[in-house]
Protein backbone atom coordinates (compact mmCIF):
# COMPACT_ATOMS: atom_id res chain seq x y z
CA UNK A 1 0.00 0.00 0.00
CA UNK A 2 1.42 3.42 -1.00
CA UNK A 3 1.70 5.92 1.84
CA UNK A 4 0.20 9.37 1.15
CA UNK A 5 2.25 12.22 2.57
CA UNK A 6 0.79 15.50 3.73
CA UNK A 7 2.03 18.81 2.33
CA UNK A 8 3.97 19.46 5.54
CA UNK A 9 5.57 16.03 5.48
CA UNK A 10 6.69 16.54 1.86
CA UNK A 11 8.29 19.82 2.97
CA UNK A 12 9.94 18.17 5.97
CA UNK A 13 7.82 20.13 8.46
CA UNK A 14 5.81 19.07 11.47
CA UNK A 15 2.68 17.00 10.82
CA UNK A 16 -0.54 18.95 10.46
CA UNK A 17 -3.89 18.50 12.10
CA UNK A 18 -5.52 15.46 10.44
CA UNK A 19 -8.57 17.54 9.53
CA UNK A 20 -8.73 18.99 5.98
CA UNK A 21 -6.82 22.21 5.36
CA UNK A 22 -10.14 23.85 4.53
CA UNK A 23 -10.98 23.61 8.21
CA UNK A 24 -7.59 24.21 9.79
CA UNK A 25 -6.18 27.10 7.81
CA UNK A 26 -2.52 27.62 6.84
CA UNK A 27 -0.34 24.55 6.55
CA UNK A 28 3.15 25.98 7.04
CA UNK A 29 5.00 28.83 8.65
CA UNK A 30 6.00 31.15 5.82
CA UNK A 31 9.36 31.73 7.47
CA UNK A 32 10.19 28.19 6.37
CA UNK A 33 8.85 28.32 2.82
CA UNK A 34 9.00 31.90 1.52
CA UNK A 35 12.52 33.25 0.81
CA UNK A 36 11.31 36.82 1.28
CA UNK A 37 11.60 36.02 4.99
CA UNK A 38 15.05 34.42 4.89
CA UNK A 39 18.15 35.76 6.63
CA UNK A 40 19.99 37.14 3.60
CA UNK A 41 21.14 40.65 4.51
CA UNK A 42 20.54 42.05 1.00
CA UNK A 43 17.81 40.24 -0.85
CA UNK A 44 17.65 40.21 -4.63
CA UNK A 45 14.86 39.95 -7.15
CA UNK A 46 13.88 40.71 -10.70
CA UNK A 47 11.26 43.25 -11.69
CA UNK A 48 9.17 43.52 -14.84
CA UNK A 49 10.10 40.34 -16.70
CA UNK A 50 6.47 39.83 -17.77
CA UNK A 51 6.24 43.00 -19.90
CA UNK A 52 7.68 44.11 -23.22
CA UNK A 53 10.87 46.15 -22.76
CA UNK A 54 11.03 45.26 -19.05
CA UNK A 55 12.19 48.36 -17.19
CA UNK A 56 13.70 50.24 -20.13
CA UNK A 57 11.73 52.54 -22.44
CA UNK A 58 14.31 52.12 -25.14
CA UNK A 59 15.28 50.47 -28.40
CA UNK A 60 18.68 49.52 -26.95
CA UNK A 61 19.69 46.06 -28.28
CA UNK A 62 18.65 43.09 -26.13
CA UNK A 63 17.62 39.47 -26.50
CA UNK A 64 14.86 40.00 -23.94
CA UNK A 65 11.34 39.43 -25.18
CA UNK A 66 8.04 39.06 -23.38
CA UNK A 67 7.38 35.46 -24.39
CA UNK A 68 6.49 32.62 -22.07
CA UNK A 69 9.56 30.56 -22.92
CA UNK A 70 11.86 33.51 -22.27
CA UNK A 71 10.26 34.58 -18.99
CA UNK A 72 10.45 30.97 -17.71
CA UNK A 73 14.14 30.78 -18.63
CA UNK A 74 14.81 34.03 -16.77
CA UNK A 75 12.90 32.88 -13.68
CA UNK A 76 14.70 29.54 -13.60
CA UNK A 77 18.09 31.23 -13.89
CA UNK A 78 17.24 33.63 -11.04
CA UNK A 79 15.99 30.66 -9.01
CA UNK A 80 19.25 28.78 -9.58
CA UNK A 81 21.25 31.82 -8.47
CA UNK A 82 19.34 31.96 -5.18
CA UNK A 83 17.42 35.16 -5.84
CA UNK A 84 14.53 35.79 -3.49
CA UNK A 85 11.77 37.14 -5.73
CA UNK A 86 10.18 37.62 -9.13
CA UNK A 87 7.95 40.71 -9.17
CA UNK A 88 5.84 41.43 -12.27
CA UNK A 89 4.36 44.70 -13.52
CA UNK A 90 0.56 44.71 -13.80
CA UNK A 91 -0.27 46.44 -17.06
CA UNK A 92 -3.52 46.66 -19.00
CA UNK A 93 -2.54 49.18 -21.65
CA UNK A 94 0.77 50.27 -23.16
CA UNK A 95 2.20 53.75 -22.85
CA UNK A 96 2.38 54.44 -26.58
CA UNK A 97 5.43 55.95 -28.22
CA UNK A 98 7.54 53.97 -30.66
CA UNK A 99 7.72 50.96 -28.29
CA UNK A 100 4.20 51.07 -26.83
CA UNK A 101 6.16 50.46 -23.63
CA UNK A 102 4.90 47.49 -21.57
CA UNK A 103 1.96 47.06 -23.94
CA UNK A 104 2.74 43.37 -24.47
CA UNK A 105 2.25 42.06 -20.96
CA UNK A 106 1.30 38.79 -19.28
CA UNK A 107 -1.47 38.93 -16.66
CA UNK A 108 0.24 38.51 -13.33
CA UNK A 109 -1.86 35.97 -11.37
CA UNK A 110 -1.72 33.39 -14.15
CA UNK A 111 1.93 34.33 -14.84
CA UNK A 112 2.69 33.66 -11.16
CA UNK A 113 0.88 30.33 -11.24
CA UNK A 114 2.92 29.20 -14.22
CA UNK A 115 6.23 30.31 -12.75
CA UNK A 116 5.36 28.76 -9.39
CA UNK A 117 5.17 25.40 -11.13
CA UNK A 118 8.34 26.06 -13.16
CA UNK A 119 10.57 27.06 -10.19
CA UNK A 120 11.63 25.51 -6.90
CA UNK A 121 12.73 28.08 -4.32
CA UNK A 122 12.21 31.67 -5.45
CA UNK A 123 9.19 33.68 -4.28
CA UNK A 124 6.73 34.46 -7.07
CA UNK A 125 4.50 37.53 -6.81
CA UNK A 126 1.35 38.65 -8.54
CA UNK A 127 0.97 42.40 -8.87
CA UNK A 128 -2.67 43.32 -8.49
CA UNK A 129 -4.42 46.58 -9.38
CA UNK A 130 -7.03 46.36 -6.65
CA UNK A 131 -9.86 48.18 -8.49
CA UNK A 132 -9.67 45.66 -11.35
CA UNK A 133 -10.43 42.49 -9.41
CA UNK A 134 -12.96 41.52 -6.76
CA UNK A 135 -11.51 40.47 -3.38
CA UNK A 136 -13.24 37.08 -3.48
CA UNK A 137 -11.63 36.24 -6.83
CA UNK A 138 -8.23 37.63 -5.81
CA UNK A 139 -8.22 35.73 -2.53
CA UNK A 140 -9.02 32.46 -4.29
CA UNK A 141 -6.42 33.01 -7.00
CA UNK A 142 -3.75 33.92 -4.45
CA UNK A 143 -4.52 30.85 -2.39
CA UNK A 144 -4.31 28.62 -5.46
CA UNK A 145 -0.89 30.00 -6.41
CA UNK A 146 0.29 29.68 -2.83
CA UNK A 147 -0.53 25.97 -2.91
CA UNK A 148 1.06 25.50 -6.34
CA UNK A 149 4.25 27.14 -5.08
CA UNK A 150 4.38 25.34 -1.75
CA UNK A 151 4.12 28.59 0.22
CA UNK A 152 6.28 30.90 -1.94
CA UNK A 153 3.60 33.34 -3.12
CA UNK A 154 3.55 37.11 -2.56
CA UNK A 155 0.84 39.61 -3.43
CA UNK A 156 1.95 43.07 -4.58
CA UNK A 157 -0.90 45.49 -3.85
CA UNK A 158 -1.31 48.43 -6.26
CA UNK A 159 -4.04 51.03 -5.85
CA UNK A 160 -4.39 51.69 -9.60
CA UNK A 161 -2.60 54.96 -10.34
CA UNK A 162 -2.61 54.87 -14.17
CA UNK A 163 -5.84 56.70 -14.99
CA UNK A 164 -6.14 55.53 -18.65
CA UNK A 165 -5.97 51.93 -17.44
CA UNK A 166 -8.64 52.44 -14.81
CA UNK A 167 -10.88 54.12 -17.39
CA UNK A 168 -10.80 51.12 -19.72
CA UNK A 169 -12.54 49.15 -16.96
CA UNK A 170 -15.46 51.56 -17.23
CA UNK A 171 -15.09 53.45 -13.97
CA UNK A 172 -13.79 56.82 -12.88
CA UNK A 173 -10.40 57.20 -11.23
CA UNK A 174 -10.72 57.82 -7.49
CA UNK A 175 -8.78 60.60 -5.82
CA UNK A 176 -5.41 59.59 -4.42
CA UNK A 177 -6.29 59.16 -0.73
CA UNK A 178 -9.61 57.48 -1.49
CA UNK A 179 -7.76 54.86 -3.50
CA UNK A 180 -5.99 53.85 -0.30
CA UNK A 181 -9.27 53.80 1.63
CA UNK A 182 -10.63 51.47 -1.05
CA UNK A 183 -7.44 49.42 -0.89
CA UNK A 184 -7.70 49.03 2.87
CA UNK A 185 -11.23 47.68 2.64
CA UNK A 186 -10.21 45.41 -0.26
CA UNK A 187 -7.37 43.97 1.81
CA UNK A 188 -9.54 43.62 4.92
CA UNK A 189 -11.97 41.54 2.86
CA UNK A 190 -9.20 39.36 1.38
CA UNK A 191 -7.63 38.87 4.81
CA UNK A 192 -10.94 37.70 6.22
CA UNK A 193 -11.39 35.30 3.31
CA UNK A 194 -7.95 33.86 4.01
CA UNK A 195 -8.53 33.42 7.75
CA UNK A 196 -12.22 33.11 8.59
CA UNK A 197 -13.57 29.60 9.15
CA UNK A 198 -17.21 29.10 8.42
CA UNK A 199 -19.17 31.70 6.49
CA UNK A 200 -19.51 35.43 7.17
CA UNK A 201 -21.17 38.58 5.92
CA UNK A 202 -19.10 41.54 4.75
CA UNK A 203 -20.55 45.03 4.80
CA UNK A 204 -18.24 47.89 3.89
CA UNK A 205 -18.35 51.11 1.94
CA UNK A 206 -17.15 49.51 -1.29
CA UNK A 207 -17.93 45.80 -0.92
CA UNK A 208 -20.86 43.76 0.36
CA UNK A 209 -21.09 40.01 0.61
CA UNK A 210 -23.58 37.65 2.21
CA UNK A 211 -22.80 34.18 3.54
CA UNK A 212 -19.26 34.34 2.13
CA UNK A 213 -16.75 31.51 2.48
CA UNK A 214 -13.40 30.61 0.97
CA UNK A 215 -11.65 27.22 1.04
CA UNK A 216 -8.95 26.09 1.08
CA UNK A 217 -7.01 28.60 3.10
CA UNK A 218 -3.53 29.70 1.96
CA UNK A 219 -0.61 27.40 2.59
CA UNK A 220 1.46 30.16 4.23
CA UNK A 221 0.72 31.16 7.79
CA UNK A 222 -0.28 33.57 9.08
CA UNK A 223 -0.98 34.70 5.49
CA UNK A 224 0.84 35.10 2.17
CA UNK A 225 3.52 37.78 1.94
CA UNK A 226 2.19 41.24 1.12
CA UNK A 227 4.01 43.98 -0.77
CA UNK A 228 3.19 47.62 -1.56
CA UNK A 229 5.09 50.36 -3.36
CA UNK A 230 3.25 53.38 -2.00
CA UNK A 231 5.66 56.15 -0.99
CA UNK A 232 3.19 59.02 -0.50
CA UNK A 233 1.81 59.86 2.94
CA UNK A 234 -1.19 57.59 2.37
CA UNK A 235 1.03 54.90 0.85
CA UNK A 236 3.39 54.93 3.81
CA UNK A 237 0.44 54.67 6.18
CA UNK A 238 -0.96 51.72 4.24
CA UNK A 239 2.38 49.93 4.12
CA UNK A 240 3.21 50.48 7.77
CA UNK A 241 -0.17 49.12 8.78
CA UNK A 242 -0.49 46.16 6.45
CA UNK A 243 2.40 44.80 4.42
CA UNK A 244 5.63 42.90 4.91
CA UNK A 245 7.71 44.72 2.29
CA UNK A 246 7.57 48.28 1.00
CA UNK A 247 9.14 49.01 -2.37
CA UNK A 248 10.47 52.56 -2.55
CA UNK A 249 11.44 54.74 -5.48
CA UNK A 250 14.10 57.07 -4.06
CA UNK A 251 16.76 59.32 -5.53
CA UNK A 252 19.63 59.58 -3.02
CA UNK A 253 21.16 57.50 -0.25
CA UNK A 254 20.36 60.27 2.22
CA UNK A 255 16.67 60.19 1.30
CA UNK A 256 16.77 56.41 1.41
CA UNK A 257 18.09 56.40 4.96
CA UNK A 258 15.52 58.86 6.26
CA UNK A 259 12.68 57.12 4.43
CA UNK A 260 13.48 53.59 5.60
CA UNK A 261 14.09 54.56 9.21
CA UNK A 262 10.86 56.58 9.41
CA UNK A 263 8.77 53.83 7.80
CA UNK A 264 10.15 51.06 10.01
CA UNK A 265 9.69 53.16 13.15
CA UNK A 266 6.12 54.01 12.16
CA UNK A 267 5.27 50.34 11.68
CA UNK A 268 6.81 49.45 15.07
CA UNK A 269 5.47 52.33 17.15
CA UNK A 270 1.99 52.72 15.66
CA UNK A 271 1.12 49.17 14.64
CA UNK A 272 3.46 46.96 16.67
CA UNK A 273 4.82 45.19 13.61
CA UNK A 274 7.98 44.87 11.55
CA UNK A 275 8.33 45.85 7.91
CA UNK A 276 11.24 45.54 5.50
CA UNK A 277 12.09 47.82 2.60
CA UNK A 278 13.39 47.12 -0.88
CA UNK A 279 14.14 49.40 -3.79
CA UNK A 280 14.21 48.85 -7.52
CA UNK A 281 16.12 50.12 -10.51
CA UNK A 282 18.20 49.31 -13.55
CA UNK A 283 21.56 47.63 -12.96
CA UNK A 284 24.11 47.94 -15.75
CA UNK A 285 27.26 46.00 -14.92
CA UNK A 286 30.24 45.59 -17.24
CA UNK A 287 33.94 44.77 -16.96
CA UNK A 288 34.91 48.46 -16.98
CA UNK A 289 33.17 51.58 -15.75
CA UNK A 290 33.42 53.10 -19.22
CA UNK A 291 31.65 50.12 -20.77
CA UNK A 292 28.88 50.24 -18.16
CA UNK A 293 28.34 53.97 -18.58
CA UNK A 294 28.29 53.61 -22.36
CA UNK A 295 25.67 50.86 -22.18
CA UNK A 296 23.56 52.94 -19.79
CA UNK A 297 23.88 56.00 -22.01
CA UNK A 298 22.87 53.95 -25.03
CA UNK A 299 19.61 53.08 -23.29
CA UNK A 300 18.93 56.79 -22.94
CA UNK A 301 20.14 57.66 -26.45
CA UNK A 302 17.85 54.99 -27.92
CA UNK A 303 15.06 55.95 -25.54
CA UNK A 304 11.40 56.12 -26.42
CA UNK A 305 10.77 59.68 -25.34
CA UNK A 306 7.19 59.51 -26.54
CA UNK A 307 6.37 56.72 -24.09
CA UNK A 308 8.39 58.43 -21.36
CA UNK A 309 6.49 61.65 -21.94
CA UNK A 310 3.19 59.81 -21.58
CA UNK A 311 4.30 58.22 -18.30
CA UNK A 312 5.55 61.54 -16.98
CA UNK A 313 2.29 63.25 -17.96
CA UNK A 314 0.24 60.65 -16.06
CA UNK A 315 2.54 60.56 -13.03
CA UNK A 316 2.83 64.35 -12.96
CA UNK A 317 -0.92 64.84 -13.02
CA UNK A 318 -1.20 63.81 -9.37
CA UNK A 319 -2.14 60.24 -10.27
CA UNK A 320 0.82 58.86 -8.32
CA UNK A 321 2.46 60.98 -5.66
CA UNK A 322 5.10 58.27 -5.26
CA UNK A 323 6.84 59.54 -8.41
CA UNK A 324 6.59 63.31 -7.81
CA UNK A 325 10.31 63.79 -7.20
CA UNK A 326 11.26 61.70 -10.23
CA UNK A 327 8.87 63.56 -12.52
CA UNK A 328 10.43 66.89 -11.63
CA UNK A 329 14.12 66.01 -11.50
CA UNK A 330 14.95 62.64 -13.00
CA UNK A 331 13.05 62.14 -16.24
CA UNK A 332 15.83 59.99 -17.68
CA UNK A 333 15.23 57.48 -14.90
CA UNK A 334 11.94 56.57 -16.53
CA UNK A 335 13.78 55.75 -19.75
CA UNK A 336 16.45 53.76 -17.92
CA UNK A 337 14.71 51.92 -15.09
CA UNK A 338 11.09 53.07 -14.68
CA UNK A 339 11.99 55.84 -12.24
CA UNK A 340 14.05 53.56 -10.00
CA UNK A 341 17.52 53.80 -8.51
CA UNK A 342 20.15 53.12 -11.21
CA UNK A 343 23.38 51.28 -10.44
CA UNK A 344 26.01 51.52 -13.18
CA UNK A 345 29.59 50.29 -13.06
CA UNK A 346 31.97 47.38 -12.64
CA UNK A 347 31.09 44.32 -10.55
CA UNK A 348 33.01 45.89 -7.66
CA UNK A 349 31.14 49.18 -8.01
CA UNK A 350 27.76 47.45 -8.26
CA UNK A 351 28.43 45.37 -5.14
CA UNK A 352 29.63 48.44 -3.26
CA UNK A 353 26.53 50.44 -4.20
CA UNK A 354 24.25 47.59 -3.14
CA UNK A 355 26.14 47.65 0.16
CA UNK A 356 25.54 51.39 0.52
CA UNK A 357 21.84 50.90 -0.13
CA UNK A 358 21.80 48.22 2.55
CA UNK A 359 23.55 50.52 5.02
CA UNK A 360 20.90 53.15 4.23
CA UNK A 361 18.20 50.74 5.34
CA UNK A 362 17.26 48.84 2.21
CA UNK A 363 16.83 45.13 2.83
CA UNK A 364 16.92 44.24 -0.84
CA UNK A 365 16.64 45.28 -4.47
CA UNK A 366 14.50 44.07 -7.33
CA UNK A 367 16.37 44.91 -10.49
CA UNK A 368 15.83 45.49 -14.13
CA UNK A 369 18.51 44.51 -16.63
CA UNK A 370 18.94 45.54 -20.24
CA UNK A 371 19.15 41.84 -21.16
CA UNK A 372 17.75 39.85 -18.22
CA UNK A 373 18.73 36.33 -19.17
CA UNK A 374 22.23 37.08 -20.48
CA UNK A 375 23.17 39.63 -17.83
CA UNK A 376 21.96 37.37 -15.03
CA UNK A 377 24.78 34.98 -15.96
CA UNK A 378 27.33 37.78 -15.60
CA UNK A 379 25.76 39.01 -12.35
CA UNK A 380 25.94 35.52 -10.90
CA UNK A 381 29.57 35.04 -11.90
CA UNK A 382 30.92 38.49 -11.07
CA UNK A 383 28.71 40.31 -8.55
CA UNK A 384 27.28 37.62 -6.26
CA UNK A 385 30.72 36.44 -5.04
CA UNK A 386 31.60 40.04 -4.14
CA UNK A 387 28.34 40.39 -2.22
CA UNK A 388 29.25 37.26 -0.28
CA UNK A 389 32.69 38.69 0.49
CA UNK A 390 31.06 41.90 1.70
CA UNK A 391 28.69 40.03 4.00
CA UNK A 392 25.61 41.04 2.01
CA UNK A 393 24.86 37.46 1.00
CA UNK A 394 25.89 34.01 2.15
When pLDDT is cut at 50, 70 and 90, the band that residue 332 belongs to is: confident
- Mean pLDDT (the chain, rounded): 90
Confidence (pLDDT) at 315: 72
Contact (CB, 8 A) for 78 and 122: yes
pTM: 0.90
Banded model confidence at residue 394, pLDDT cuts 50, 70, 90: very high
Count CB-CB contacts under 10 A for residue 29: 16
How much is the pLDDT for 50?
A: 97
Phi-psi region of 18 (alpha: psi -120 to 50; beta: other; left: phi over 0): alpha
Q: H/E element holding 129? A: strand 123-129
- Dihedral (C-alpha) 119, 125, 129, 135: value to the nearest 10 degrees? 90
pLDDT at 243: 98
pLDDT of residue 40: 98
Q: What is the mean pLDDT of residues 295-313?
A: 93
List of residues 6+ apart from 178 with CB closer than 8 A: none
Residue 316 confidence (pLDDT): 64
Q: What is the pLDDT of residue 24?
A: 58
pLDDT per residue as tens digits for the range 309-319: 888 888 765 44
pLDDT band at 333 (very low <50, low <70, confident <90, very high): confident
**DSSP label of 318:** I
Task: Give the H or E element holding residue 227.
Answer: strand 225-228
pLDDT of 23: 58
* Overall average pLDDT of the 362-387 stretch: 97
HSE-CB for 153 with a 13 A CA cutoff: 36
When the candidates are 3.30.465.10, 3.20.20.30, 2.170.190.11, 3.50.40.10, the CATH number that belongs to 7-389 is 3.20.20.30
Amino acid sequence: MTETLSANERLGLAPTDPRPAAETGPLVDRQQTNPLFNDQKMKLGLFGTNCSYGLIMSHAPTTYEATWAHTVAIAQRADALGFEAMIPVARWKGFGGSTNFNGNCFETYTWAAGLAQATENIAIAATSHLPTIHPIVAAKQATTIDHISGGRFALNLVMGWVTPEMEIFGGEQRQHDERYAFGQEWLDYVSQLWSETGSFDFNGQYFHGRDVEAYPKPMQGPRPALVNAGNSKSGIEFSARNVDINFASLDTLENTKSYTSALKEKARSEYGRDITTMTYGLIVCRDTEAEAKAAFQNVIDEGDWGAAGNVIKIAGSGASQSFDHAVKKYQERFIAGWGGYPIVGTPEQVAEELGRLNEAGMDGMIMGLIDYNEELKYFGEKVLPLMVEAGLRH
